[in-house]
């Protein structure tokens, strides 16, 4: 896989890419039946090269839906790059809670849940209804509850997330992926701002290109970034979302450019240090 350009501004020492995926190689880690997409292989070696190219010390891997509930690709990566990587799994209640303790020893640090406005038969992911099965062990281990959520769904579950946050960190993906045209007044985004402002949720400043259609600088997504930064910079993380699944080649983001965009939109050095180093270190290391 081609490497991105180097960022114009070097990240601070210890910086973390808090959201990326691994896929394959398919010959070793097959893709799941019923998956919503089939990505090109994006193996560990390519990801470690990406971190080096961007000047990032560490990364947090998130189970991709193309691998379903088989987290073998993450567990393998954690064994092969101990210390440099942490990971967040997707699994259903067929996994015994005690298994999470085995995964923790390797570097797994959370479970990802999906809350979408989807028709019956949606097969990619597990909703928060599965959390009670794992909640006690996750609380004991200090794991994060990571939520990939439809912005229309968040107002209905905001109180639940606030209650969960009293026991363990809650992390919301991709700035809630609100279509930029809806603006920051969107009710879901406003609910998110309240959670962040009150310290009841963390948010990943990732997937900017999933909010905006204005490649390559995504100016209409900046108000979402700015609003979250103003709400509570201590509850934010940044991630590449590499390898950018389901994005056409002609508008494929360059990760060096995404990191430069983060720097341009986050002018205070102390905020950059919090978002890139301090908060992900606290949550995952």
- Give me the active site residues, please: 241
Structural contact between residues 64 and 32, judged by C-beta atoms closer than 8 angstroms: no
CA distance 25 to 164: 36
Strands 170-172 and 236-238: unpaired
What does the radius of gyration of the chain's CA atoms come to, in whole angstroms?
A: 17
For 19, the 3-state DSSP assignment is: strand
Strands 16-20 and 108-115: unpaired
For 195, the 3-state DSSP assignment is: helix
Preceding peptide of 128 cis, ω within 30°: no
């Amino acid at each position: 896989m081609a490497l991105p350009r180097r960022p114009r501004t070097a990240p601070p020492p210890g910086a973390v890419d808090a959201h990326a995926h691994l896929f394959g190689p398919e010959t070793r880690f097959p893709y799941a039946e019923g998956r919503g997409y089939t990505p090109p292989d994006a193996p560990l070696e390519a990801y470690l090269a990406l971190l080096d190219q961007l000047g990032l010390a560490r990364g947090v891997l998130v189970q991709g839906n193309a691998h379903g509930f088989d987290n073998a690709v993450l567990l393998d990566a954690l064994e092969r790059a101990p210390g440099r990587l942490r990971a967040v799994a997707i699994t259903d209640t067929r996994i015994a809670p005690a298994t999470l303790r085995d995964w923790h020893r390797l570097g797994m640090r959370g479970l990802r849940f999906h809350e979408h406005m989807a028709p019956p038969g949606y097969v990619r992911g597990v909703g928060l209804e599965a959390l009670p099965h794992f909640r006690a062990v996750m609380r004991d281990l200090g794991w994060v509850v990571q939520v990939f959520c439809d912005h229309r769904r968040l107002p209905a579950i905001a109180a639940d997330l606030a209650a969960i946050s009293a026991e363990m960190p809650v992390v919301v993906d991709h700035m809630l992926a609100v279509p930029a045209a809806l603006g920051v007044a969107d009710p879901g985004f406003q609910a998110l701002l309240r959670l962040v402002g009150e310290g009841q949720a963390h948010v990943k400043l990732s997937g900017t290109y999933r909010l905006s259609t204005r490649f390559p600088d995504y100016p209409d997504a900046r108000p979402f970034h700015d609003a979250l930064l103003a709400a509570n910079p201590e509850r934010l993380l940044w991630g590449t979302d590499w390898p950018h699944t389901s994005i056409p080649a002609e508008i494929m983001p360059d990760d060096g450019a995404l990191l430069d965009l983060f720097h341009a939109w986050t002018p205070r050095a102390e905020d950059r240090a919090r978002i890139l180093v301090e908060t992900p270190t606290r949550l995952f290391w």
